[in-house]
Amino acid sequence: MTEWLLDGLLVIALVITAVAALLSRDLFRAVVVFIAFGLLMTVAWVRLQAPDIALAEAAIGAGLTGVLLLDAVSHLGSKRPGKRTQEGGEQ
Protein backbone atom coordinates (compact mmCIF):
# COMPACT_ATOMS: atom_id res chain seq x y z
CA MET A 1 0.00 0.00 0.00
CA THR A 2 2.77 2.42 0.96
CA GLU A 3 4.65 1.47 -2.19
CA TRP A 4 1.62 2.18 -4.34
CA LEU A 5 1.24 5.54 -2.63
CA LEU A 6 4.90 6.31 -3.31
CA ASP A 7 4.72 5.22 -6.95
CA GLY A 8 1.49 7.12 -7.52
CA LEU A 9 2.80 10.30 -5.94
CA LEU A 10 6.04 10.01 -7.89
CA VAL A 11 4.24 9.62 -11.19
CA ILE A 12 1.95 12.55 -10.44
CA ALA A 13 4.94 14.68 -9.43
CA LEU A 14 6.75 13.70 -12.64
CA VAL A 15 3.83 14.78 -14.81
CA ILE A 16 3.29 18.00 -12.86
CA THR A 17 6.96 19.02 -13.03
CA ALA A 18 7.01 18.21 -16.76
CA VAL A 19 3.95 20.41 -17.35
CA ALA A 20 5.42 23.16 -15.19
CA ALA A 21 8.76 22.98 -17.01
CA LEU A 22 7.05 23.34 -20.37
CA LEU A 23 4.44 25.95 -19.50
CA SER A 24 6.25 28.13 -16.97
CA ARG A 25 6.31 31.76 -18.06
CA ASP A 26 9.83 32.42 -16.85
CA LEU A 27 12.48 30.55 -18.78
CA PHE A 28 14.85 30.42 -15.80
CA ARG A 29 12.13 28.90 -13.65
CA ALA A 30 11.33 26.41 -16.41
CA VAL A 31 14.92 25.18 -16.41
CA VAL A 32 15.02 24.91 -12.61
CA VAL A 33 11.78 22.90 -12.65
CA PHE A 34 13.29 20.74 -15.37
CA ILE A 35 16.25 19.98 -13.09
CA ALA A 36 13.74 18.95 -10.42
CA PHE A 37 12.12 16.74 -13.06
CA GLY A 38 15.49 15.08 -13.65
CA LEU A 39 15.90 14.40 -9.93
CA LEU A 40 12.42 12.86 -9.78
CA MET A 41 13.36 10.70 -12.77
CA THR A 42 16.33 9.49 -10.69
CA VAL A 43 13.96 8.39 -7.94
CA ALA A 44 11.75 6.72 -10.54
CA TRP A 45 14.72 4.71 -11.85
CA VAL A 46 15.49 3.57 -8.31
CA ARG A 47 11.87 2.51 -7.95
CA LEU A 48 12.19 0.57 -11.23
CA GLN A 49 15.21 -1.26 -9.78
CA ALA A 50 17.63 0.29 -12.26
CA PRO A 51 20.44 1.73 -10.09
CA ASP A 52 22.77 2.12 -13.09
CA ILE A 53 20.37 4.43 -14.87
CA ALA A 54 19.68 6.25 -11.61
CA LEU A 55 23.40 6.99 -11.20
CA ALA A 56 23.72 8.21 -14.77
CA GLU A 57 20.54 10.29 -14.52
CA ALA A 58 21.70 11.88 -11.27
CA ALA A 59 25.01 12.88 -12.81
CA ILE A 60 23.65 13.88 -16.20
CA GLY A 61 20.01 14.89 -15.76
CA ALA A 62 20.50 16.89 -12.61
CA GLY A 63 24.11 18.01 -12.99
CA LEU A 64 25.27 18.47 -16.56
CA THR A 65 21.93 19.33 -18.20
CA GLY A 66 21.23 21.87 -15.47
CA VAL A 67 24.54 23.67 -15.90
CA LEU A 68 24.26 23.57 -19.68
CA LEU A 69 20.73 24.94 -19.81
CA LEU A 70 21.25 27.56 -17.09
CA ASP A 71 24.32 28.79 -18.92
CA ALA A 72 22.29 29.00 -22.12
CA VAL A 73 19.43 30.83 -20.37
CA SER A 74 21.73 33.42 -18.87
CA HIS A 75 23.26 33.88 -22.30
CA LEU A 76 20.07 34.03 -24.35
CA GLY A 77 18.14 36.03 -21.80
CA SER A 78 20.67 38.81 -21.50
CA LYS A 79 19.16 40.76 -24.39
CA ARG A 80 15.80 41.09 -26.01
CA PRO A 81 15.55 39.08 -29.19
CA GLY A 82 14.40 40.40 -32.51
CA LYS A 83 17.38 42.57 -33.29
CA ARG A 84 20.77 41.82 -34.63
CA THR A 85 23.04 42.09 -31.60
CA GLN A 86 26.46 43.59 -31.82
CA GLU A 87 27.44 44.55 -28.28
CA GLY A 88 28.69 41.85 -25.96
CA GLY A 89 26.41 39.87 -23.72
CA GLU A 90 27.11 40.11 -20.02
CA GLN A 91 28.17 36.66 -19.00
Partner 1 sequence: MTAPLLYALAGALLCGLGLFGLLCLSHLLRKLLAFNVMGSGVFLVMVGLPQHQGGPDPVPQALVLTGIVVAIAATALAVVLIRRYYHLSGLTTLDAEPTSREGGQE
Partner 2 sequence: MIQALRISAIAIACLMFVAGLAASIWAIAGNPLPESLPQLLSENMSRSGVEHPVTAVLLNFRSYDTLLEIGVLVIAGIAGISMAKTTSLEDPELRTSDSLLYALQRWFVPLMLVLAGYLLWAGADRPGGAFQAGAVLAATGVLMRLGGIPMEFIRPGLLLRLGLALGFTVFLLVALASAIGGDAFLAYPPAMAKTLIVVIESVLTLSIAMVLLALFVSAPVNDAEDPEEGGSS
Q: Rule CB under 8 A: which residues touch partner 1?
A: 3-4, 7-8, 11, 14-15, 18-19, 21-22, 25-28, 30-31, 34, 37, 41, 44-45, 47-50, 52-53, 56-57, 60-61, 64-65, 68-69, 71-73, 75-77, 79-85
**At residue 31, what is the residue type?**
V
Please give the Cα distance from 79 to 15 (Å, whole number). 32
**Partner in contact with 13, chosen from partner 1, partner 2, none, beta carbon below 5 to 8 Å by kind:** none
Distance of CA 77 to the CA centre of its chain: 18
| Number of Cβ atoms within 10 Å of the Cβ of 54 | 19
From candidates 67, 73, 77, 81, binder to partner 2 by CB under 8 A? 67
